[in-house]
């Protein structure tokens, strides 16, 4: 199997980031809205795991910054969240790549939980605190979606090679 060229990979990352951002602001029906998974974050985790040499912390940070602008949040909030998750993924990637998918999903759930705790915390500091349990639903939906993300990512990287 010939490896993808660096450029194609980079392009793929930015495209999937854009897609993740689109899905982050696309309107959903009311009952589905609380479940909206952080697809941009999941994509970022996936790329950091599979090709840490290309998808670095800058990529993670920028994704978060764009999400801030899109959502009109305090500038830097999601950027910090993405950065923390990206850094931890970098630290854990050698182990995580060995894990079976279910175990991976559990780790991802922990990462998502940390991310949402950070968001919750910053929201509280900036005065937009929403304390309902509903805000933790994306942790669950994200973890459940993780196998799908891996499958999609794997098929994308293989097909284009």
Partner 1 sequence: MVELSHDSRPIIGRGPPLTAYFLALAAISVGLMVADQRYHQIDRIRESLSRVIYPVQRAVDFPFRATDWVTGSFADRSRLRQENLALTARLRLANLQLQRFAVLEEENRRLREMRANTAGIAEKVLVASILNVDLDPFRHRVLLDKGAADGVFKDQAVLDGDGIFGQVSKVNASTAEVILISDAEHAIPVQSNRSGVRTIAVGTGDQHKLSLPFVTVESDLQAGDLLLSTGMGGVFPPGYPVAQVSKVKRAGSMFALVEARPTARLDQAREVLLVWFKPRAEPAAAAATAQPAPSSTPVDGPATAAPPAQAGGE
Decide whether 130 or 133 has the Cβ nearer to partner 1: 130
The CA distance from 59 to 55, in Å, is 6
Q: How far is the CB of 2 from partner 1 (least distance, A)?
A: 20
Q: 76 and 68 in contact (C-beta within 8 Å)? A: yes
∠ CA 111-127-59, nearest 5°, is 40
Q: Which of 83, 108, 111, 139 binds partner 1 (CB under 8 A)?
A: 83
The CA distance from 43 to 49, in Å, is 10
Footprint of partner 1 on 90-149 (CB under 8 A): 90-94, 122, 126
Q: Which of 3, 11, 15, 25 binds partner 1 (CB under 8 A)?
A: 25
Indicate the DSSP class of residue 136: G
Decide whether 18 or 137 has the Cβ nearer to partner 1: 18
Decide whether 99 or 151 has the Cβ nearer to partner 1: 99
Decide whether 92 or 144 has the Cβ nearer to partner 1: 92
Q: Does 53 bind partner 1 (CB under 8 A)?
A: yes
Q: Which of 10, 35, 36, 52 binds partner 1 (CB under 8 A)?
A: 52
Q: 79 and 68 in contact (C-beta within 8 Å)? A: yes
The CA distance from 146 to 106, in Å, is 9
Distance of CA 94 to the CA centre of its chain: 18
Q: Does 79 bind partner 1 (CB under 8 A)?
A: yes
Decide whether 10 or 147 has the Cβ nearer to partner 1: 10
- Report the SS3 class of residue 123: helix
Structure tokens at 82: 């993405």
Residues that bind partner 1 (CB under 8 A): 18, 21-22, 25-27, 52-53, 56-58, 61, 65-66, 69-70, 74-77, 79-80, 83-84, 87, 90-94, 122, 126
């Amino acid at each position: 199997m010939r490896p993808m060229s660096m450029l194609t990979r980079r392009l793929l990352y930015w495209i999937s980031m854009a897609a993740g951002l689109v899905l982050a602001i696309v309107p959903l029906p009311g009952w589905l809205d609380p479940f909206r998974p952080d697809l941009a974050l999941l994509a970022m985790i996936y790329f950091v795991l599979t090709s840490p040499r290309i998808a670095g912390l800058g990529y993670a940070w920028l994704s978060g910054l764009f999400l801030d602008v899109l959502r009109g949040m305090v500038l830097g909030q999601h950027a910090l969240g993405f950065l923390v998750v990206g850094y931890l993924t970098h630290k854990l990637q050698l182990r995580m790549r060995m894990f079976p998918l279910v175990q991976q999903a559990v780790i991802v759930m922990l990462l998502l939980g940390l991310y949402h705790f950070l968001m919750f915390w910053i929201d509280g500091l900036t005065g937009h605190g929403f304390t309902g349990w509903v805000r933790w639903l994306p942790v669950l939906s994200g973890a459940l979606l993780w196998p799908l993300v891996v499958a999609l990512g794997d098929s994308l990287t293989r097909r284009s090679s």
